[in-house]
Homo-oligomer: A and B are copies of this chain.
Amino acid sequence: MADKKYVYFFGGGNADGRADMKELLGGKGANLAEMTSIGIPVPPGFTLSTEVCESYYENNKQYPPELKEEVENSLKRLEELTGKKLGDPENPLLVSVRSGSAVSMPGMMDTVLNLGTNDEAVKGLEKMAGNRRFAWDSYRRFIQMFGNVVMDVEHEEFEKLLDARKKVKGVKLDTELTAEDLMEVVSGYKNLYKEKTGGNFPQDPRVQLWKSIDAVFGSWNNARAIKYREINDIKGLLGTAVNVQTMVYGNYGEGSGTGVCFSRDPSTGKKYFFGEYLMNAQGEDVVAGIRTPESLDEMKKEIPDKYKQLDDIKDKLEIHYKDMQDMEFTIEKGTLYMLQTRTGKRTAQSAIKIAVDMVKEGLIDKNTAIMRVSPDQLNQLLHPMIDPNTDVKAIGKGLPASPGAAVGEIVFTAKEAEAEAAKGKDVILVRIETSPEDIGGMNVARGILTARGGMTSHAAVVARGMGKCCVAGCSDLHILNESECEIGGIKLNAGDYITLNGTAGEVIKGQVHLVEPEPTGDFAELMSWADEVRTLKVRTNADTPSDAENALKLGAEGIGLCRTEHMFFEGNRIDAVREMILSEDEAGRRKALKKLLPMQQGDFEGIFKVMNGLPVTIRLLDPPLHEFLPHKEEDIEALAKNMGVSPDKLKKKVESLKEFNPMLGHRGCRLGITYPEIYEMQVEAIFLAACSILKKGIKVEPEVMIPLIGTVQEFELLREMTIKTADRIIKENNAELKYLVGTMIEIPRAALVADKIAEVAEFFSFGTNDLTQLTFGYSRDDAGVFLPEYIEKGILEKDPFQVLDQPGVGELVEIGIERGRKSRKDLKIGICGEHGGDPESVEFCHRIGMNYVSCSPFRVPIARLAAAWAQINE
């Protein structure tokens, strides 16, 4: 490994690296190299690869021995290329040191600017810039940044000294301080530095450089960065790269500036050159949202030639990368430099529009377009919007930083957000501006509202990434203290409800009615491409005709789970259900069931009609009976009167139906076996409905699903009953009707004896909710006490009720499929747990050979896209 290369140079139109070396050079480094190679003006520099970072952590924070020399060589090349020298009192080379990993982690790791400034170089800087104040301001900034980032001296401590000077001079703004003031400040900073670190501020630029490199590599594993990777599910990276790059200054004065731009609108996806810039500012001023910047339209008017050059570069980069670019630029005394380009983060809406447009423009193919929109992202598109028919009045206006709408109670800190959300509350995080420390709170909030910052501020970028509604830079918002704020002059307290419209950038007082958006246009087009690709079918879990109708609109290809018990709760049906349960004998139950039969039949007719020939899987009664029972004294008394029995007797019966562990109790097919008349009624209702719908000329494809099977004997008994009842009704109606009888696999034992069960069952539907409960031994209702701690401590990567646990539950599913198909080669297999709508789980279902997934209606498009991804990734 002696010839391993650790440092990659870029500059003068040539580069050691390429865009496809992101793993090694990080996204920033790889793109700086690529841009250099294709002739984009980039300040020269070099990149220490991620392998250095890996080696650094593997070898107890020691660098590979070859590194020193490679860095020295690169510095030499840099000095030759720029004609400047590190620490030179005439013509000093100043550099930035920045992190950059393969996956962008905005604001998560450390950056040091103006490196190379010292008591000598500051003089050279003054000469070069012809601006003494600028030189000392740069020096001041460098000491502050170095002291804070590298040496852990608190930012606040430096600010205090600066404020003290302003007070002395009786001024308000930094810019009102003179060069001499800043020299005083530098002197104060140096003292502070010595006091806090026990050593002098290093004058040697090489010491400055290595300490900064240490700090960037060290920042890879700071708490913020780890949390960010956790939340964003970033894994398998070697580490960060370190980019050392010649400084260019957007704050050289009036002819200078800096900005951030996107080759298309990251919010809407429109093909529109979108960005913001600030004259006489450094890049950090834009990103941190400290000053509110101007739009590129303004730039076009103000400095049209620079705008034109930037616009051309933007086109070149987008065509080169074939994707929407997020770029940073700096104009130094009239010269435009590109500091970064990367794939732009975008909203789901924008991702879809860009993907579809680029196919039409011939830039990419359909599969690439599909892979440009992540299934997770669709979530935000399918999120609620403010009902267009509602008349709302905004109390505040801000930037439409991330679309969608959100309703929640006001919280003022990230910590509070996490605490309230943990109680199950919907919260809106309200902040002056957000910072990386707020990540946890932003993640659990329904929406984010900030008083300061632009469309590329931290809050906006992070919220868009999370697919979360955000209104940024709302100047009508004034935070008064930790529990009060004013918006448009209206005082609001923590806990008060507000509604955000992230699409319009509006804040509304109170709770506004939200509606689901219609999936049409580009969305529909992209989904149709996904449908062409995927092999995994997508069904929906729907219990009512209206659910079914919604799901059909969203592309469902059948019903994978129709829960018959939900029908039992509708209207006053519950009375008949209770009467059935509390009857002393079979005759009593049958009497009550007779009342329920026509109601269930009607339900099924409604669903069959909507589904119009698509398969409908109907699960027979599943929950324990006492879930249907009255528990309040007065309800019991009313029911007793209705049934003509004594309230005492009824109370005893209710009591006797209580279970220690209802989840493991008398439910599912166990009810079907001990009270066969209940299942019989349900099967009758299904087939009476099917025959009646058939007569109307509508096709029907019923699949009767028996829940909670643990032994093949249970299934055999109930299958026999089902077939006997179904065939009798079909015969009585002179109908011709094909149907299937199958089972849920949700008891671990069922997966283990799937070969036996498949001998008689025509389909399997994995009920991964219960299967997860039993495989882990977690009660979904109780696990909330320890699950959050489990995830925090890394015992579980994710909540297994949200994302299928592949090594455990998934293993049982695989065993079930393998054994099931051994007995019945063409066994139809699906999943109907919550996991059927989770992209990662859908991919797993595809990989292990399921025929379909079934999920809640609004997750159907997510599953469709995830299935296409799975197929393309294969």
Contacts and interface: CB of A to CB of B under 8 A. Distances in A.
B747 A776 contact: yes
B795 A673 contact: yes
A794 B673 CA distance: 12
A466 to B, nearest CB: 26
A27 to B, nearest CB: 31
Interface stretch (A165-173, A194-202, A711-719): A711-719
A752 interface: yes
Give the bracket for the number of chain A residues in contact with chain B: 35 or more
A796 B752 contact: no
Give this chain's copy count: 2
Interface stretch (A76-84, A782-790, A858-866): A782-790
B749 A809 contact: yes
A664 B661 contact: yes
A673 B786 contact: yes
A752 B660 contact: no
Contact of A659 (B770, B779, B790): B779
Nearest to A670: B786
A752 B782 contact: no
Contact of A717 (B661, B779, B793, B805): B793
A663 interface: yes
A346 interface: no
Given A794-B713, A795-B673, A811-B752, A665 B708 contact: no
A775 interface: yes
Contact of A662 (B660, B708, B778): B660
Interface in A780-817: 781-783, 785-786, 789-790, 793-796, 805, 807-809, 811-812
A826 to B, nearest CB: 24
Contacts of A309: none
Nearest to A663: B661
Nearest to A624: B782
A807 B674 contact: no
A494 interface: no
A753 B807 contact: yes
Given A661-B781, A673-B790, A786-B673, A749 B773 contact: no
A782 B660 contact: yes
B811 A664 contact: no
A670 to B, nearest CB: 5
B786 A747 contact: no
Interface in A56-90: none
A664 B811 CA distance: 20
Nearest to A784: B666
A807 B752 CA distance: 8
Contacts of A776: 710, 747, 749
Contacts of A781: 659-661
B670 A749 contact: no
A833 interface: no
Nearest to A657: B785
A404 B713 CA distance: 38
Given A665-B785, A714-B795, A785-B666, A752 B779 contact: no
Contact of A786 (B666, B809, B811): B666
Contacts of A663: 660-661, 664, 777, 779
A774 interface: yes
A748 interface: yes
Interface string A721-755: 00000000000000000000000001111001100
Contacts of A665: 779, 782-783, 785
Contacts of A674: 785-786, 789
Given A789-B673, A795-B717, A664 B778 contact: yes
Given A661-B781, A773-B664, A752 B713 contact: no
Given A661-B779, A661-B781, A752 B812 contact: yes
B752 A808 contact: yes
A663 to B, nearest CB: 4
Nearest to A714: B795
A171 B753 CA distance: 67
A708 B777 contact: yes
Nearest to A668: B777
A556 to B, nearest CB: 29
Contact of A660 (B774, B779, B805): B779
Contacts of A714: 795
Interface string A648-689: 000000000001111111100010011000000000000000
Contacts of A748: 748, 774-775, 777, 808, 812
B662 A808 contact: no
A161 B598 CA distance: 58
Contacts of A793: 673, 713, 717
A674 to B, nearest CB: 5
B794 A775 contact: no
Contacts of A746: 777
B662 A747 contact: no
Nearest to A656: B785
A747 B717 contact: no
Nearest to A785: B666
A776 B812 CA distance: 14
A779 B812 CA distance: 21
A402 to B, nearest CB: 34
Contacts of A774: 748, 774-775, 777
A113 to B, nearest CB: 41
Interface in A449-497: none
A250 to B, nearest CB: 48
A23 B299 CA distance: 101
Contacts of A773: 664
Nearest to A659: B782
B778 A752 contact: no
A702 B807 CA distance: 32
Interface in A518-549: none
Contacts of A670: 786
Contacts of A808: 710-711, 748-749, 752-753
Given A752-B808, A785-B666, A786-B673, A710 B777 contact: yes
A747 B661 CA distance: 16
A793 B711 CA distance: 13
Contacts of A661: 661-664, 779, 781-782
A796 B664 contact: no
Nearest to A746: B777
Contacts of A756: 807
B664 A779 contact: yes
A661, A663, A713: residue with the most chain B Cβ atoms closer than 10 Å? A661
Contacts of A710: 776-778, 808
B777 A664 contact: yes
A711 B710 CA distance: 24
A661 B809 CA distance: 20
A777 B778 CA distance: 12
A746 B777 CA distance: 9
A756 B708 CA distance: 29
A431 to B, nearest CB: 31
4 closest residue pairs by CB, A with B: A664-B779, A661-B779, A749-B808, A665-B782
Given A663-B779, A774-B774, 15 more contacts: A659-B781, A660-B782, A661-B662, A661-B663, A661-B664, A664-B782, A673-B789, A673-B793, A710-B776, A713-B796, A717-B795, A748-B775, A749-B775, A752-B811, A770-B777
24 contacts: A659-B782, A660-B662, A660-B782, A661-B662, A662-B782, A663-B779, A664-B773, A664-B778, A664-B779, A665-B785, A666-B782, A673-B795, A674-B786, A710-B777, A710-B778, A711-B796, A713-B795, A717-B795, A746-B777, A747-B776, A748-B748, A749-B809, A752-B775, A753-B811
Interface of A: 659-666, 670, 673-674, 708, 710-711, 713-714, 717, 746-749, 752-753, 756, 770, 773-779, 781-783, 785-786, 789-790, 793-796, 805, 807-809, 811-812
